[in-house]
Amino acid sequence: MTDSTRTAHSTRHSTTRRNVLRGTVATAALAATTTAPAGPAHAAPPAGGGPEIGILLYDGFSLLDPTGPAEVLSRLPGATVTMIAERRGAVRTDTGDVAVVAERSLDEVDRLDVLLVPGAGNRGTVAAMNNRTLLDWIRRIHRHTRWTTSVCTGSIVLAAAGLLDGRQATTYWAAAEYLEATFDVTCLPRRHVRSGKIITAAGVSAGIDMALYLASLLAGADTAKAVQLAIEYVPQPPFDAGDASRADARLKERALRLLEESQGQGQGPRSHPGVRLG
Amino acid sequence: MTDSTRTAHSTRHSTTRRNVLRGTVATAALAATTTAPAGPAHAAPPAGGGPEIGILLYDGFSLLDPTGPAEVLSRLPGATVTMIAERRGAVRTDTGDVAVVAERSLDEVDRLDVLLVPGAGNRGTVAAMNNRTLLDWIRRIHRHTRWTTSVCTGSIVLAAAGLLDGRQATTYWAAAEYLEATFDVTCLPRRHVRSGKIITAAGVSAGIDMALYLASLLAGADTAKAVQLAIEYVPQPPFDAGDASRADARLKERALRLLEESQGQGQGPRSHPGVRLG
C-alpha cells in the first residue's frame, strides 16, 4: 500500500463517532424500551436487574470453557458475569498461553443465580478435585443457585464436591469412563444434561450450546435466539471430526496427544514469560 | 448431601496424581514421538518449534473473538499464542464483565507467523479504526506474517489499516454494509474468506471455524481434525437462529438491542468494579 492510499483511508474514517453496526440506527427508538427488558421477571434481581452469573476460574482451566458461555450469558438483559477464583487476579490456562482476570475472590461471593465450573487439563482438574476450599465454596454457593452448571471436566469437580451423587451428567468424552468409575454418576453422551437444577455440558465447545440452552431457561427462548444471532452462531466446522463416538482410535490418540503436548508436559514453560498479576 | 457421603468422596479421590483423561494411559508410548510433531516443517520455527501466533487485544473487544481461536490454535504442535495490546496488562471486553491479560505490548512484538485481530462493539471498533499506533503496528506486522486474520468487526480494523484494499472479505453480519460502503472491499456472506494471506471470519463464533481452517493450513488437515476432536467441536445449537440471512427483522433488531444494552450504553458501568492491573 502506498502512503497516498493510506492517507485517503485515514480521511474516510476519521470521524470518531460513527455507527459501524447497522442496529445503531434504531438506538433512539429502542431507548424507551431499555428499562423494560424482555423475559420473565427474576425473583431477586441484582444491580443489573438480571441474573448474577459467576464463573469459577482455577489454575489450568481450558480457555473456551468459561469464555464461550461468558460471551453468551453476558448478553442477557441486565445480566452480570463475574470471573471468580481463590484469589483476585490473573488465572492462567492449561497451555500457559493466556490468563483471564478473576474479579472476585471466593470469600467475596456468597450468592449467585448461576454458577459455572469450567473444565481443565489433567493437572488442573485433579488439583481442583483435591482443593477443599474450592469444593466447600462450590457446595455453599450451590445451595442457593437457580442453576449450577459445568463445562467439560468441570462436571468432575462438581462430582468431587458431591453434587452429582445419583445423578445423570455429561463430561468431556475422554473423561466419561473416569467420571462413572469414580463417582455415583450416570454419564450420558449428550451435548448437555440437565438433572434438577444442575446442567453439565460435554467438552470445551459444548459450553456454548449449553449456555444458549441456559439462556433460554433464564430469559426465554426468544431472547436466547437473539443471543445466538448476536454471536452469529451458525457453526460450519471445516471438518466433521468433533464427535468422539464416530472418531477412530488413531484420531482420538492424536487429539489427546495434542492436548498433552500443548499443556507442556515434559516441555517446561511456554516460550513467553508469565506475567504475574494480582 | 450428608457429611458422611462427603467424606466418602474425599477418600475416593484423595490421590493427588491421577489420570482423569483416558489418553494419559498412552503417555509413555507417545513420549518418544513428542520431539517429532506431525505436519509440515516451519520455515522459521520459534522457541516452541511451531507457529508464533499473536492476538491483538484492544479495549472493548468481544470475548469469544480472540478466545475461541486461541483455544484452537494453542493446541497446534509447538505453537505459542500471545495476547498483545498497546500496553501489557488487563484489557476489558465490550460488556465490561471480563478482562484478558495482554502478555506483550505492541513495541515488544516485531514478527509473528500469524496475526489475529478480533472484533469489538461499536465503541471499541471505532476507537481501533482511529488508533494510528494500532494501525501502524498491524501494517508493520502484516509485512512478514504467514497469515493475517480477523474475526467479526476485526476485518474493519484491517480495512482501516489499508490491508483489504480491492479484496474480498467477510465481517459481522450487521457490519457488512458499513465495510463495503466505507472501504474498497467486496463483502461475502461466508463463514470465512481467504484472500491471499489474509483470512477474515464472520461474527464472533465464526472465529472457531476460521481457526480450524487456519490450523489445517498451518499443520495439515489431520492435525486440524484432531484439534476439533480435542475441543469436542460437534456443535448442536439448541436453536436455529444464528444465520442473519434467514433471520427476520424482529430477531435482528432484538439481537442488536441485546448487544447495545449489554455494552452498557446509557447504563453506566457494570455492577462489579474494574480490577486495575499491569
DSSP-assigned letters across all residues of chain A:
--HHHHHHHHHHT--SS---SGGGGGHHHHHTTTTS-SSPPPSS--TTSS-EEEEE--TTB-THHHHHHHHHHTTSTT-EEEEEESSSEEEEBTTSS-EEEE-EEGGG----SEEEE--B-HHHHHHHHT-HHHHHHHHHHHTT-SEEEE-TTHHHHHHHTTTTTTEEE---GGGHHHHHHHSSEEE--SSEEEETTEEEE-STTHHHHHHHHHHHHHH-HHHHHHHHHHTT-----SSS---GGG--HHHHHHHHHHHHHHTTTTT-S-SSPPPP--
Residues A180-189, mean pLDDT to the nearest whole number = 97
Cell, residue B34: 513428542
Q: Residues A62-98: pLDDT tens digits? A: 999 999 999 999 999 999 999 999 999 999 999 999 9
Q: Which of residues 19-48 of A touch B (CB under 8 A)?
A: 19-24, 26-27, 30-31, 33-34, 37-38, 46-48
For residue B235, give Cα distances in angstroms to A157, A239, A267, B204: 24, 12, 32, 15
pTM (2 decimals)? 0.85
> In B, which residues are within 8 Å of A277 by CB distance?
89-90, 101, 277-278
Q: Does A79 touch chain B (CB under 8 A)?
A: yes
Instruction: Report the first-to-last Cα separation within chain A, whole angstroms.
Output: 43
Q: Does B231 touch chain A (CB under 8 A)?
A: yes
pLDDT at A47: 53
Inter-chain touch B258–A77, beta carbons under 8 Å: yes
* Residue B120: HSE in the Cβ half-sphere, 13 Å Cα cutoff: 24
Q: Tell me the CATH number at B219.
A: 3.40.50.880
Q: CA of A246: which chain B residue's CA is closest?
A: B229
* Residue B93: HSE in the Cβ half-sphere, 13 Å Cα cutoff: 29
Residue B159 near residue B169, CB atoms below 8 Å: yes
Please report the number of interchain residue pairs, chain A to chain B, with beta-carbon separation below 8 angstroms. Answer: 437
pLDDT at A273: 32
CA–CA distance, B264 with B8 (Å, rounded to integer):
47
Q: Does B114 touch chain A (CB under 8 A)?
A: no
In a domain, A15, yes or no: no
Can you tell me the ipTM of this complex?
A: 0.84
Calculate the average pLDDT of chain A.
85
Residue A259 near residue B230, CB atoms below 8 Å: yes
In a domain, B3, yes or no: no
Containing structural domain, residue A64: 52-230
CA of residue A238 relative to chain centroid, distance: 23
Q: Does B70 touch chain A (CB under 8 A)?
A: yes
Name which residue leads in pLDDT, B185 or A47: B185
For residue B176, give Cα distances in angstroms to A83, B44, B125, B155, B158: 33, 36, 14, 10, 14
Q: Quickly state the pLDDT bin for A18 (edges 50, 70, 90).
A: low
In a domain, A4, yes or no: no
Q: CA of B166: which chain A residue's CA is closest?
A: A1
Inter-chain touch B20–A256, beta carbons under 8 Å: no
Inter-chain touch B235–A223, beta carbons under 8 Å: no
Min Cα distance A122 → chain B (Å) is: 6
Min Cα distance B107 → chain A (Å) is: 15
Q: Quickly state the pLDDT bin for A239 (edges 50, 70, 90).
A: very high
Contacts 24+ apart (CB under 8 A), B175-183: B175/A20, B175/A21, B175/A22, B175/B125, B177/A22, B178/A19, B178/A20, B178/A21, B178/A22, B179/B155, B182/A12, B182/A13, B182/B156, B183/A9, B183/A12, B183/B156, B183/B159
In a domain, B120, yes or no: yes
Name which residue leads in pLDDT, B191 or A274: B191
Is it the case that residue A129 has pLDDT exceeding 60? yes
In a domain, A268, yes or no: no
Q: Quickly state the pLDDT bin for B20 (edges 50, 70, 90).
A: confident
Inter-chain touch A173–B62, beta carbons under 8 Å: no
Residue in B259, B181, B227, B16 with CA at minimum distance from that of residue A95: B227
Q: Quickly state the pLDDT bin for B23 (edges 50, 70, 90).
A: low
Min Cα distance A27 → chain B (Å) is: 8
Q: Does A230 touch chain B (CB under 8 A)?
A: yes
In a domain, B46, yes or no: no
Calculate the average pLDDT of chain B.
85
Q: CA of B266: which chain A residue's CA is closest?
A: A31
Query: What domain count does chain B have?
Result: 1
Q: Does B130 touch chain A (CB under 8 A)?
A: yes
